Amino acid sequence: MRTAFAGAPCWRGSGGFPLLIVVALAAAIATAQPSLAQTPAATSSLKSEQQALFNRTLKEPTNLDVAFRYAEVSTKLNDFEAAIGALERMLFFNPNLPRVKLELGVLYFRLGSYEMAKGYFTNAIADPATPSEVRAKVQAFLDEIEKRSNPSIFSGLVQTGVRYQSNATAGPSGSLIRVFGFDGVLDQKFAKQPDWNFFSQGIVVHTLDLQTQRGDAWETQASAYLSEQRKIKRLDVAAIAAQTGPRIVLDSGQLPGTGLSVRPYIGGLLVGLEDQYYLGSGLAGGAITWLPAPGWGVEFGGDRGRRTFHNTETYLTADLQTGTLNTGYLVVRGPLLEGVRWQARGGILRNDARDDAQSYLQRVLELSVSYDFNSKLMGETQRVTLSPFAGVTWTDYRQPNPLVDPDVTRKDRERFVGLALDAQVYKSFGLGIRLQYSSTDSNLPNFRTGNLSVSAGPTFRF
């Protein structure tokens, strides 16, 4: 069973854990340090400026520019009480200052006084003339306050439906193949065959706010997939996966949903084929996430896992794939136009199997675009997301497989293109449709394949 992972390069350290994670963590902490603490010289300069500005506010209590600068300097020194006092004095002289109310809300938010913060945020957007950028910032903080008021949050997606594949067996496109290094004719029972299946899949995410000022949390994710083929029963799949770990905020950013965080995690995977235990895997890894602005994100990470395959009545040599799997990835995403987002994924995977003919190095590139728009469904305006995507995967195996050709080491290149549609139909219920075509070119005819896949079914979000 070959799986394509989107990721960035991952190398082994002397201890066996991916060196990538250690380097990434160190780099992230080093990057975050300037924002976490002022240098002694900078702190001294700010304190001197704060004192000078404080003296000016006593002499010029109605000078809003001086008061605002005093609040700004005090905030940089983490002297939130002084900043709050200055801003509240500004409102005493002029109550109609939405930006000042916004800043007061931010300061009370940082102090953990969420009710006071919510009051100022609400007042900041009460005036219809409030600038749109102020409204956007306020909404981001109000959403975060709602989240922190409910420290334990469950969310998820469930879908069931049908899927059609033109080449469910991943059989070669032609009838001529290589066997022991010689040309042969493929037995028709191993040729490509179309089939339908019924599937159910779901994912549940639990976020536990650890109640720190930075916004640290413990994140757990579990997913499951079941499918039953109409004809080819050896492809019936049951799989369950889970991972858990803390998200530690290194720099909280200026707005909720922005900043720098690190997330180490552990996880596992169990897979059954045709009602028999096929694969068990455990892994450990980590990721660095940087959200510089709302809608923008960069994530860099990797993991190392141990996979154990088990022979079944159908898959008699599955245990030859047992070994370690190292992955790494880089994901970059951001807004493109109004209602349009893009995401680029790239990475590398190295599989070290018991049988070197099953070991390989795989590289992946994928680009997707998501377009959100509103449509009238069942008499109400509902959100619809259309997401075209495309990508390419290169897979280089380590050694020739003597059963196929002892003189040729397998090299594959898979291209894929597709379109996904996610339509909200009524409240939490919707419809998901996915269309994908993939084509694999190989230096061995046994592995030249093509497949058209279409899946559709109702969805439920919570």
- For CATH 1.25.40.10, the residue range(s) in the chain are 36-149
DSSP tag of 447: G
- Per-residue pLDDT tens over the stretch 341-379: 999 999 999 999 999 999 999 999 999 999 999 887 766
For residue 439, the model assigns a pLDDT of 97
Contacts of 89 (CB under 8 A, 6+ apart): 57, 61, 67
Mean pLDDT for the chain overall: 87
pLDDT for the residue 38: 56
- Closest C-alpha among 242, 247, 272, 273 to residue 259: 247
| Mean pLDDT, residues 156-171 taken together | 96
Look at residue 415 and give its three-state secondary structure: strand
How far, in Å, CA of 418 to CA of 413, rounded? 17
181 phi and psi, to 5 degrees? Answer: 90, 0
- Spatial distance between the Cα atoms of 269 and 309, rounded to a whole number of angstroms: 12
Tell me, what amino acid is at 168?
A
Helix (H) or strand (E) holding 196: strand 195-209
Closest CA to 220 of 245, 241, 201: 245
What topology does CATH give the domain 36-149?
A: 1.25.40
Could you read off the pLDDT of 12-40 as tens digits, one per residue? 333 344 444 444 444 444 444 444 445 67
What 8-state DSSP symbol labels residue 281? E
Distance CA 377, CA 457 (A): 17
Q: What burial letters (b/e) apply to 83-104, b meaning 16+ CB within 10 Å?
A: bbebbebbeeeeeebbbbbbbb
How far apart, in Å, are the Cα atoms of 425 and each of 420, 433, 460?
16, 13, 10
For 400-419, b where at least 16 C-beta lie within 10 A, e where not — what string?
A: bbeebbeeebbebebebebe
pLDDT > 50? residue 55: yes
Spatial separation of the C-alpha atoms in residues 449 and 438, rounded to whole Å: 8
Q: Three-class SS of residue 311?
A: coil
CB atoms within 10 A of CB 428: 12
Q: pLDDT band at residue 315, thresholds of 50, 70 and 90? A: very high
| 19-24+152-461 CATH, one of 3.40.50.720, 2.40.160.40, 3.20.20.10, 2.40.128.260 | 2.40.160.40
Please tell me whether residue 187 adopts helix, strand or coil conformation. coil
**Phi and psi at residue 252, in whole multiples of 5°?**
-75, -10
| Stretch (H or E) spanning 202 | strand 195-209
- By percentage, how much of the chain surpasses pLDDT 90? 57
130-161: pLDDT as tens digits: 777 778 788 888 888 887 778 898 999 999 99
At residue 97, the pLDDT reads 83
Quick one: DSSP state of residue 319? G
Check residue 18 and report its DSSP letter: B
Asked if 306 and 282 touch (Cβ cutoff 8 Å), the reply is: yes
Instruction: Note the residue count of the chain.
Output: 462
